[in-house]
Amino acid sequence: MQALNDSLRGRDFISIHDYTPEEIAYILEVGVILKKEQKQGIPHPHLAGKTLGMIFQKSSTRTRVAFEVGMYQLGGHALFLSPRDIQLGRGETIKDTAQVLSRMLDGIMIRTFEHEEVLELAKWADIPVINGLTDLLHPTQVIGDLMTIKEHKGQLKGLKLAFVGDGNNVAHSLLFGGAKVGMDVVIASPPGFEPNPQILSLAQQDAQTTGAKLWVVNDPAEAVSDADIVYTDVWASMGQEDQAEEKEKQFLQYQVNQKLLSLAKKDAIVLHCLPAKRGKEITGEVMDGPQSVVFDEAENRLHAHKAIMALLM
């Protein structure tokens, strides 16, 4: 354990691809421990006196609350930094921002559009940088997802997860996550909306270590057949609002409804990273149904984020 602690301390958390299967397993284990302690009322001030700067170029409910409450429960303090609060993108370079914040903070969480902004921030910062979401990846979400799956299924290796919808940042991080824990992941997207082929290729290389199978199809029924987990997300991500109407037409057959869910295993669970557009990518019947664990998943963001911060900072 000490070797894993040492390997994680001071690291950035930009992509699950950057971590070994053992490191991902350890982060999940720590998340479970911190959740258990919080439920039992056991204090765990591992980051007492430390500060996290939270840069939000994209707004959020779960990400902000999870990191802010997480820092409080870990004994530290979080600062919310909106585009109105800092000079990033208004004349000051990312390099200068990174160097200034490194002198005052113990860690930075950034939620933004361009993935390159996170890479640039991490390049110049002397403190851990955590990717809270970019248009390319959403790694902190998937740590919470993996916690939730293990909580409900008792394992990760050998399960089949079917993601139905746009081949987006969540789909990309699920491919990396599945590859690291030995979980099969199939993405079902309409033609032209499949995941980034470079991400798929990297994840498949990762999967050679754990034996996970990763593939992409266009038929949602094929993907969901015999799945242990059915996952969906909004069809038009934040910043794609102008594409929402057109995407709805192309994604009509990709709604997670009771009919599609019936093709999965009888004990399959349903995940959604939220916020959900009920009646679009998922029906209210499924989201509020007995197989849905979306609110457990949302809660686990708190404990997953705490594990990441406690280990890195």
The residues carrying an active-site annotation are 111, 138, 141, 233, 273, 301
Question: Cα angle vertex 301, ends 61, 313, to 5°?
Answer: 105
Output DSSP code: residue 107. E
DSSP-H helix ranges across the chain: 2-8, 21-39, 62-73, 94-104, 115-124, 139-153, 169-181, 197-210, 220-224, 244-250, 258-261, 284-287, 294-312
Say if CB 193 and CB 222 are below 8 A apart: no
Q: What is d(CA 143, CA 207) in angstroms, rounded to the nearest whole number?
A: 17
Distances (CA, A) of 216 to 81, 83, 277: 37, 36, 24
Q: How far is CA 108 from the centre of its chain?
A: 17
Say if CB 282 and CB 261 are below 8 A apart: no
Q: What is d(CA 156, CA 174) in angstroms, rounded to the nearest whole number?
A: 12
Output DSSP code: residue 52. E
Say if CB 129 and CB 110 are below 8 A apart: yes
Structure tokens at 75: 């004994």
Each residue of 188-203: b (16+ CB within 10 Å) or e?
Answer: bbbeebbbbeebbebb
Q: Which residues pair with 214 in a beta bridge?
A: 185
Each residue of 213-230: b (16+ CB within 10 Å) or e?
Answer: ebebebebeebbeebbbb
